[in-house]
Amino acid sequence: MDRRDGDLVLEGLYGPLSAEQTEAVQGILDNAEHLLVQVTNLLEMSRLETGSLQLAVDEVVLHDLISEVVAANRSLLRDGKVEVLQELDGS
């Protein structure tokens, strides 16, 4: 199953889903996307180590980066064993 298949399941092509099933399928798709990003990052690290990829240092908006990390790991937070507080001041 790839992302397109999962999207078709979510759209109800194979029949209606309950709210719980929809959440489960969305979690699976989110985790698959996260795994793909991790594998890509691992491959890029390997390329950095061999010198076939150059690292570019760039500025980031910290608030956006933290929001992205929290969103990417939301499925890990569902069981309530871990709590993440996102607080940034304006400075």
Q: Residue 86 corresponds to which amino acid?
A: Q
Cβ(55)–Cβ(48) under 8 Å?
Answer: yes
Residue 73 has what pLDDT? Answer: 76
Which residues of the chain, if any, have pLDDT below 70? 1-2, 90-91
Q: At what angle do helices 62-72 and 19-50 cross, to 10 degrees?
A: 120
The pLDDT score that the predictor gives to residue 72 is 76
Question: Looking at residue 81, what is its pLDDT?
Answer: 78
Token pair belonging to 76: 């890990």
